[in-house]
Every structure is written in structure tokens, then in C-alpha cells.
């Protein structure tokens, strides 16, 4: 007798494909996949529906606008309603040791969050670099983030010498540890932003891309690859945004470089001519359509390995779209639209469903050391599952997404084929038909050191 059973659905299993089978789960774990399973206390009929592994969004920011505790609840609620059941959180402490903050961050995820989580502290100081082994040992952290280009008023750039020290400290943790890097060359971005201010005090969203030229991304990826190679670190390029950046990625792969590349659903779903204009102002920018086309190519061909959101929730009052080109602030609430946007635009682009799901589940879970507990549907895996109605079409409305925000960069768009009708987290039905019906049961995931680099397909094909 299972606690819960899903019958008559089509499972999408990364690396395996589509499979008509039932799933039985007990005590939060998948116990069986097959036909004619024994009875269950609760049975969900998923006829005509897709059953996916809960998404793992490896790239989110929590607590940038309201308190960490508050956003740990509201933004993970949006995530869960949207089919995301695990998130990676880029923690921010600009000057202080993370030892002062990690206990509270962790408590928030254990006590308030609807989803499971891993942490990637953002490294800014020599003290933080020196404490990387302590963060790893005491909090099970295996990944760290570095900004090559800061954002005025938000974060500072990290210089190349500190990058190298940091990469070495992370690499010393073991072959599974990851350096996640915001790849833009700070000096080029600062110059471009200042020149844009002089040339165009006002403008459109399309003009914003000039403040973050693609060559700044391409050059920074080149630098990061070189430093990561020197340090022996596994480089993870966050939020690839440009065709030029992708060209560097392709060339490096041809040369045998071993690294991982992410893009985001806003970059895949939106372009800079969008009618929502400064609601989608972001760093790096959502760019012109040819970049957008390149990112889809990179995703389909396997040079872009993972898809996250870069969710940084804001409300209209702090997003300030009316403040225009230079005054509107970056940051997008996009956890709730991650899966609907990925499947809608992926279908439009003709990318196979199995590939889309892999990039948002198994690939990031493998990269960050939580596979196969997360990122697949398998006997023994956590019972985090999303049932999607492939025919359901809905117009995006911020108030239905479940987060704190009063806007969405996708608002007004009609998305089809990716809306969850049920989200199961740890074997319990927590959301149904766009509403929360269960209690938050997320927890923080300690990660343990592994003695080998994960066997990521894209690291071994060179
Ligand atoms: Zn980010």
C-alpha cells in the first residue's frame, strides 16, 4: 500500500524518454514505477497529462527586496505552484563572514520554504575565501558564486587575483565542487554604461543591451575559463545571454575545455523588443532576437547545459519601470513562469520535450551534486513530481503566480503546455490547479563531498 499513486500519466524521464507508467510513493520517496501497482491511500489519475520530475532551478536570489525570511516563504510558494521543487540560492553577504548568516538562512529554508534548497554563497572578500572549507564542512556547501562584473548599488566586481584565489579554494574542496561565475568584464560594462548615459539619457529596452555589450560577456568567459583551468576548478557560467558568448563556449568545447553553461527562461522566452519593456530590464540584458535564436540553438545542440531563472523578485514600486532606461532596476520575479515558459517557447522552437526537461532537472541536479535524489523519476528518488496539462493555455497574471510581486515580465502572454495542475513535494500534494493545498515541507540540503567529478555528458565528449 503506497501513500500516493499517480496512474495513467506519461512520465518524462531525463535520459530515458517518455514512458507510460504509474508511480507509487511512500514516505516521500518513489518506491515503484510500472503497471498494475498495488493500492494507495490516495490515487491521482493523470490520464492525458505529463508527469515530470520537479524542476531544480539552480539560479535564484532570495531576500534582495524584502527580508530573507519573508521571501523564503513567498518566492518558494511561487516556485512550487509553477512546478519548481528545488532551488539553488545565491546568498549575499558583501562584507561579513557567512558564518554570521548561514544558520539563519538555513533555518528559513527548513521552516518556511515550500521547496528544497542548496546554497551558493557569493564570494567578495579574502575572509570569505579563507572560510570556504568551513562553509563546506559545516553547511554542506559545494558551490560558490563570483561576480566578474558587479552591479551599481547591489554587488561589487571581484578582481582577477581574487577570482583565482577563490577558484583554487573551491577546487581544493574536491572534484565535485563548482565555481559559478557571472561572466562580464567589469571595465567594459562600466565604460559602456557610462557612455550610454551620455549618449542616451532616455531610450528603450533595446538600448539597454548597449550597457552590457556581448563582447564583455565573451571576454569574461574566456578569462574565467583560463583561470578555472589554472585552478583546476569546474566552471559554471551562469545566465549566458549572447550569441558572442555562445561562440566562445563552442570554441572552448572544441578545444576540450570541461565546463558547464546555463541560460535562463527570461533569455529564452523574451527579447528586447518586448512590449513589457522595462518590466524585463535585467543584467545581463534580455537581448535582440538574433541572440535569442542563438541561445535556443545552443540549448538544442547541448552547448548550453542547464536552464535556471535568475529569479530576483521585485515589486513595481522598486522595479520602477517608469524611471526608464537608466532608472528602472534589474531583477525579475520568474520562478512561477519557469516551467510554463520553458515548455511553451520550447515547443514553438521545436526542441524535444525530453531535452527541455533534462536541462531543467537532471542536468543541474548532476552539476550540483544532488542527482539522483533530485532531477529524475526513479525508484529511490525523492517524490518531487509535477503533473502538467499539455493542452492547458493560460495568460500570465502576476496575482496568480503566488509570489510577492505585483508584475511578471511575461505578463499578458498566453503560454500553453507547461502549466502544472498538481505539484507533489516529498510525496505530498502541495499544490493543485494553481492553489496551495498542503503545508510547506521544504528543507535545506546538505551536500557531501564526492571523490570524482560528476559524470556530466558534456564534460566527457571532448
Ligand atoms: Zn543571478
DSSP string computed for 91-134:
E--SSS-GGGTHHHHHHHHHHT-SSEEEEEEBP-SHHHHHTHHH
Residues 438 and 429 sit within 8 Å (Cβ to Cβ): yes
Q: What is the DSSP letter of 444?
A: B
Instruction: Tell how far the Cα of 1 is from the centroid of ligand 1, in angstroms.
Output: 43
Instruction: Tell how far the Cα of 32 is from the centroid of ligand 1, in angstroms.
Output: 37
pLDDT of residue 460: 67
pLDDT of residue 154: 81
pLDDT of residue 207: 98
What would the DSSP string read from start to end of 319-377?
H-GGGHHHHSPP-B--STTHHHHHHHHHHHHT--HHHHHHHHTHHHHHHTT-TTTSSS-
Instruction: Tell how far the Cα of 258 is from the centroid of ligand 1, in angstroms.
Output: 22
Which residues are found with C-beta within 5 Å of the ion, ligand 1?
Answer: 310
Angstrom distance (rounded) from CA 178 to CA 234: 5
pLDDT of residue 447: 98
H or E stretch at 59: strand 55-61
Backbone angles phi, psi at 97, to 5 degrees: -60, 140
Angstrom distance (rounded) from CA 52 to CA 386: 5
Angstrom distance (rounded) from CA 238 to CA 402: 26
pLDDT of residue 462: 42
Instruction: Tell how far the Cα of 30 is from the centroid of ligand 1, in angstroms.
Output: 32
Instruction: Tell how far the Cα of 168 is from the centroid of ligand 1, in angstroms.
Output: 22
Instruction: Tell how far the Cα of 411 is from the centroid of ligand 1, in angstroms.
Output: 21
Q: Could you tell me how far CA 301 lies from the centroid of its own chain?
A: 19
Instruction: Tell how far the Cα of 237 is from the centroid of ligand 1, in angstroms.
Output: 11
Residues 280 and 295 sit within 8 Å (Cβ to Cβ): no
Instruction: Tell how far the Cα of 282 is from the centroid of ligand 1, in angstroms.
Output: 10
As given in the structure block, the three cell numbers for residue 184 are 562580464
Instruction: Tell how far the Cα of 42 is from the centroid of ligand 1, in angstroms.
Output: 39
The domains of the chain are located at 2-51+380-436, 55-376
> Helix, strand or coil for residue 12?
strand
> Helix, strand or coil for residue 52?
strand
pLDDT of residue 36: 93
Instruction: Tell how far the Cα of 61 is from the centroid of ligand 1, in angstroms.
Output: 6
Strands 40-45 and 2-7: parallel
| Range 55-376: architecture per CATH | Alpha-Beta Barrel (3.20)
Backbone angles phi, psi at 425, to 5 degrees: -125, 125
CATH ID of 2-51+380-436, from 2.40.50.140, 2.40.30.10, 2.30.40.10, 1.10.10.10: 2.30.40.10
Per-residue pLDDT 10s for the chain (462 aa) are 999 999 999 999 999 999 999 999 999 999 999 999 999 999 999 999 999 999 999 999 999 999 999 999 999 999 999 999 999 999 999 999 999 999 999 999 999 999 999 999 999 999 999 999 999 999 999 999 999 998 888 888 999 999 999 999 999 999 999 999 999 999 999 999 999 999 999 999 999 999 999 999 999 999 999 999 999 999 999 999 999 999 999 999 999 999 999 999 999 999 999 999 999 999 999 999 999 999 999 999 999 999 999 999 999 999 999 999 999 999 999 999 999 999 999 999 999 999 999 999 999 999 999 999 999 999 999 999 999 999 999 999 999 999 999 999 999 999 999 999 999 999 999 999 999 999 999 999 999 999 888 889 888 644
Amino acid at each position: 500500500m503506497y501513500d500516493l499513486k499517480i496512474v495513467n500519466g506519461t512520465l518524462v524521464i531525463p535520459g530515458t524518454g517518455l514512458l507510460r507508467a504509474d508511480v507509487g510513493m511512500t514516505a516521500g520517496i518513489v518506491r515503484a514505477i510500472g503497471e498494475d501497482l498495488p493500492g494507495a491511500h490516495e490515487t491521482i489519475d493523470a490520464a492525458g497529462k505529463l508527469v515530470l520530475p520537479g524542476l531544480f532551478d539552480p539560479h535564484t536570489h532570495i531576500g534582495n527586496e524584502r527580508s530573507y525570511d519573508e521571501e523564503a516563504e513567498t518566492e518558494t510558494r511561487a516556485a512550487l505552484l509553477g512546478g519548481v521543487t528545488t532551488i539553488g540560492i545565491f546568498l549575499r553577504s558583501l562584507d561579513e563572514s557567512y558564518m554570521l548568516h548561514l544558520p539563519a538562512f538555513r533555518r528559513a529554508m527548513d521552516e518556511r520554504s515550500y521547496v528544497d534548497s542548496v546554497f551558493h554563497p557569493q564570494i567578495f572578500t579574502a575572509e570569505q575565501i579563507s572560510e570556504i572549507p568551513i562553509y563546506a564542512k559545516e553547511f554542506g556547501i559545494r558551490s560558490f558564486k563570483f561576480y566578474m562584473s558587479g552591479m551599481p548599488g547591489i554587488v561589487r566586481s571581484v578582481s582577477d587575483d581574487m577570482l583565482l584565489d577563490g577558484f583554487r579554494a573551491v577546487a581544493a574542496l574536491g572534484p565535485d565542487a563548482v565555481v559559478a561565475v557571472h561572466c562580464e568584464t567589469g571595465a567594459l560594462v562600466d565604460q559602456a554604461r557610462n557612455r550610454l548615459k551620455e549618449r542616451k539619457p532616455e531610450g528603450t529596452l533595446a538600448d539597454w543591451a548597449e550597457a552590457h555589450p556581448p563582447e564583455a560577456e565573451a571576454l569574461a568567459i574566456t578569462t574565467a575559463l583560463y583561470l578555472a583551468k589554472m585552478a583546476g576548478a569546474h566552471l559554471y557560467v551562469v545566465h549566458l545571454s549572447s550569441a558572442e558568448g555562445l561562440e566562445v563556449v563552442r570554441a572552448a568545447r572544441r578545444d576540450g575545455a570541461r565546463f558547464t553553461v546555463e541560460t535562463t527562461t527570461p533569455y529564452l522566452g523574451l527579447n528586447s523588443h518586448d512590449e513589457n519593456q522595462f518590466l524585463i530590464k535585467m543584467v545581463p540584458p534580455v537581448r535582440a532576437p538574433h541572440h535569442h535564436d542563438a541561445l535556443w540553438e545552443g540549448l538544442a545542440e547541448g552547448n548550453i547545459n542547464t536552464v535556471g531563472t535568475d529569479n530576483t523578485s521585485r515589486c513595481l514600486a522598486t522595479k520602477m519601470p517608469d524611471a526608464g532606461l537608466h532608472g528602472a532596476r534589474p531583477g525579475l520575479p520568474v520562478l512561477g513562469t519557469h516551467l510554463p515558459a520553458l515548455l511553451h517557447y520550447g515547443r514553438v522552437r521545436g526542441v524535444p520535450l525530453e531535452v527541455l526537461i533534462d536541462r531543467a532537472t537532471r542536468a543541474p541536479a548532476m552539476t550540483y551534486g544532488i542527482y539522483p535524489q533530485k532531477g529524475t523519476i526513479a525508484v529511490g528518488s525523492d517524490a518531487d513530481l509535477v503533473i502538467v496539462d499539455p493542452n492547458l493555455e493560460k495568460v500570465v497574471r502576476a496575482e496568480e503566480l503566488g509570489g510577492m510581486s505585483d508584475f511578471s515580465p511575461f505578463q499578458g502572454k498566453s503560454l500553453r503546455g507547461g502549466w502544472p495542475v498538481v505539484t507533489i513535494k516529498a510525496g505530498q500534494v502541495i499544490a493543485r490547479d494553481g492553489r496551495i493545498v498542503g503545508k510547506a515541507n521544504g528543507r535545506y540540503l546538505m551536500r557531501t563531498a564526492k571523490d570524482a567529478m560528476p559524470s556530466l555528458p558534456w564534460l566527457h565528449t571532448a
